[in-house]
Amino acid sequence: WTRHSQELLVHPPSQIYFSQRGERRGKYLVRSDDGKFAVCPAPHIGTDAPIEVRAAGASVLRPVEGAAAGAPGAQPRAPSDADR
């Protein structure tokens, strides 16, 4: 996009103008054969699409085998589901 005037930007390859100021602010414009600007329809019309998202997370903290076994007063632990 490049500046065409104080109010308009232009996209040179497509010759589409975008108004930043004035009564047509926020609209896309095209220049007709007689030189006047006309409001251009939206280039893409959004559509809604259903989506489904699932997420899961898990974490297991295990003691370090060598450090826990040699600690004073350490008890041997029973195997758990996390050991599998």
Question: What does the pLDDT look like over 3-44, one tens digit per residue?
Answer: 888 888 888 888 888 888 888 888 888 888 888 888 887 667
CA–CA separation, 39 and 18 (whole Å): 10
Q: How confident is the model at residue 1 (pLDDT cuts 50, 70, 90)?
A: confident
The residue ranking higher by pLDDT, 63 or 82, is 63
Type of residue numbered 42:
A
The three-state secondary structure class of 34 is coil
> What is the per-residue pLDDT across 40-49, written as a single tens digit (0 to 9) for each?
876 677 888 9
The three-state secondary structure class of 18 is strand
Type of residue numbered 67:
A
